Structure 1
Amino acid sequence: MASAQEVRDLFVPHLMGELHDSGAELTVTALDVEEHGRTFTLVVTLEAYGQRWRVRLESDRSAMNIFNGVPPHDLVRGIANDFHFALFDWWHFRDSRRKVAELGERLD
């Protein structure tokens, strides 16, 4: 079984650095993985438009397969894509949806 650090290292090439969608540009400066039994939390530190944020994104149970041995690249990429989508969902709706806003905290 992979450690949280090993899983974090799998996500780095897919989620660190500049991320773009049609309405925003986010720069991920740090990633951490916190394992919680059957789920895990991806903790993302990012910069966007002169602001620094920490966002906590929860996995679903199916994403725990990434902890089993050496996961296939397609699995890693798929889970990373889910987190990519969730991060931009948080960014776009943090001011209008309370539950979404609770996922992030402004650092400055």
Structure 2
Amino acid sequence: MASVDECRQALQDLAARLDRNADAVRERVDLDRTLACRVTDLDTAFHGRLTDGRLLDLTDGDDPKAKIALSTSSDDLLALVRGQLDVTKAIASRRVSIKANPFDLMKLRKLL
């Protein structure tokens, strides 16, 4: 099981990667939504905002009102961010759950 610090670092790495590719991401996914990432086996969460192709204001804690909520285990979170776990297969096998309105899910598919 990964630690809270490893999960935080993985999300910060993802934010940095999105920031480096913000123009390309923005062309594919034009969203401005709050985002919560719930790590089920650690009983912890992180939240931020997905806007202009970037993941901003990433901080500890849950946002129960987040428009997009991802839930997964710590190990699966790390594997997703590292590209070792295909998100479509992870969702199909219920290793990852994403809750969002249908229009946002269609936009997110372009990113995933």
Category of TM-score, reference length = shorter chain = 0.3 to 0.5
Give TM-score, length-normalised by structure 2. Answer: 0.36
- Higher relative CO (Cα under 8 Å, sequence separation at least 6) belongs to 2
Larger Rg: 1
